[in-house]
Amino acid sequence: MIKVGIVGGTGYTGVELLRLLAQHPEVKIQAITSRTEAGMSVAEMFPSLRGRIDLKFTSPAEAKLQECDVVFFATPHGVAMAQAKELLAAGVKVLDLAADFRLKDTAEFTKWYGMEHACPEILAEAVYGLPEINREAIKKARVVGLAGCYPTSVQLGLAPLLASASTGGKALIDGTHIISDSKSGTSGAGRKAEIGTLHAESSDNFKAYGVKGHRHLPEIVQGLKAIAGHDQIGLTFVPHLTPLVRGIHSTLYVRLTEAGLGVDYQKLYEDFYQNEPFVDVMPAGSHPETRSVRGSNGLRIAVHRPGNGDTLVILVVEDNLVKGASGQGVQCMNLMFGLPETTGLTQIALSP
Q: Which residues are catalytic?
A: 149
* Amino acid of residue 34: S
Rounded CA gap, 273 and 138, in Å?
18
Number of Cβ within 10 Å of residue 112's Cβ equals 18
Rounded CA gap, 264 and 158, in Å?
15
Residue 147 CB contacts under 8 Å (≥ 6 apart), including other chains: 102, 128, 129, 130, 155, 219, 223, 328
Rounded CA gap, 98 and 77, in Å?
5
Residue 349 CB contacts under 8 Å (≥ 6 apart), including other chains: 291, 292, 293, 294, 295, 296, 298, 319
Residue 64 CB contacts under 8 Å (≥ 6 apart), including other chains: 30, 31
Whether residue 313 contacts residue 288, with contact meaning beta carbons closer than 8 Å, is answered with: no
What backbone phi and psi angles, to 5 degrees, belong to 274?
Answer: -60, -25
Whether residue 41 contacts residue 14, with contact meaning beta carbons closer than 8 Å, is answered with: no
